Structure 1
Amino acid sequence: MECNKTNFGQEHKREMRAVQDSMDVLSGKWKIPIISSICYYNKRRFSDILNDIDGISNRMLSKELKELEINQLIKRTVLETQPITVEYQLTDHGLTLRTIINNLTDWGVEHRKVIVGKPL
């Protein structure tokens, strides 16, 4: 993309705002692992996500799931079972993160090789 110096500064600010918006939605220790868990299995129950992510508490998982739902990245479905079952899945908008999650996974594997010298 070609731009003059005036447009370059404006374009750079727009791109930086977009990065900040993304980080505001995805930041923190838990959101990417939660999205990854749901993405990998397509649908996950609360207890399944809790078991997938080492170190997360019930309270924190609940808080993060609510934030992801507010940002329209996941959908919460209450099933009429005894006891009641709640499933989480990515929305169509959330599914757009699948490529990013896959790229982060690939980068993480390569980074581990560089730093440690061997894959997981």
Structure 2
Amino acid sequence: MPQITVDHTAVADTAFDRAGFARALHSTVVEIAAARPEACKTLFRAADETAFGHDTDGAHVIVHITFGLLAGRTDETKARLTEAALELLRDHLKPEGAVLHASAEVRDLDPSYRKYEG
């Protein structure tokens, strides 16, 4: 925990400093959500095909960040975390000639959550 997933339009690959974003995001999660640095894990998933409204010209970059955290964080903490993540995204993703559509959410992990490290 936390489990972080960043889904994004594949055309953003060259404009997205994923390593820098992950480092900054992990520091932010530690600061805001009291996570341990070694517990932060981020998975980036690039989507080859996306659509935005009726536009099909590819001038849109779509990013959605999902945080899975153990239950117990306040709504205020969750909101601070998503706002900070979106701000960091603006610093690490600069799509030239495209409109950035970004969103983020925090979900409580189900009580059945277990992890394995080996």
Structure showing greater Rg: 1
Q: Which has the higher strand share?
A: 2
Tell me: higher relative CO, structure 1 or 2? Use CA pairs within 8 A at least 6 residues apart.
2
TM-score range, shorter chain: under 0.3
Normalization by structure 2: what TM-score? 0.28
Give the TM-score of the pair, scaled to structure 1: 0.27
* Structure with the higher helix share, 1 or 2: 1
